[in-house]
Amino acid sequence: MHYTPVRLEGKLHNEALDFGGSYYFTVDASVAGKAVERADFTTKAKPSGTTLKVAEDGSADFCTVQGALSYATTLGKNDAVTIEVADGTYRELLNDCCHSPRRLAYRQNSHSCHSYGH
């Protein structure tokens, strides 16, 4: 299978979208042969506490492990953070963006897998 990932350029970066916000996007017909005039979506509410849950089906605080890792850096430096990963295959490149010492526990059960194709 050959694919070309979609790359976004400009101001979109970690924390670019607010928790609990409403947004939309459009796609030009030149991207996939058919235009998407407007697609609306909302983001989840901000997680509470220091246990962050990840599930690829959208049922948890985050859909990606990277999203949880990135959010963990916004918490207090002395907070012990636990990331619980639900069953699934998470195809993502992980960037440990915790530049300062933190206590981070990562819980993944036997039915979870991380991979990233190069």
* pTM greater than 0.85 (yes/no): no
Rounded to whole angstroms, the Cα distance separating 96 from 99 reads 8
What is the CB-side half-sphere exposure of residue 1 using CA atoms within 13 A?
4
pLDDT of residue 118: 45
Checking if the pLDDT of 63 tops 60, the result is: yes
Q: How confident is the model at residue 109 (pLDDT cuts 50, 70, 90)?
A: low
Length of the chain: 118
Boundaries of every domain in the chain: 46-115
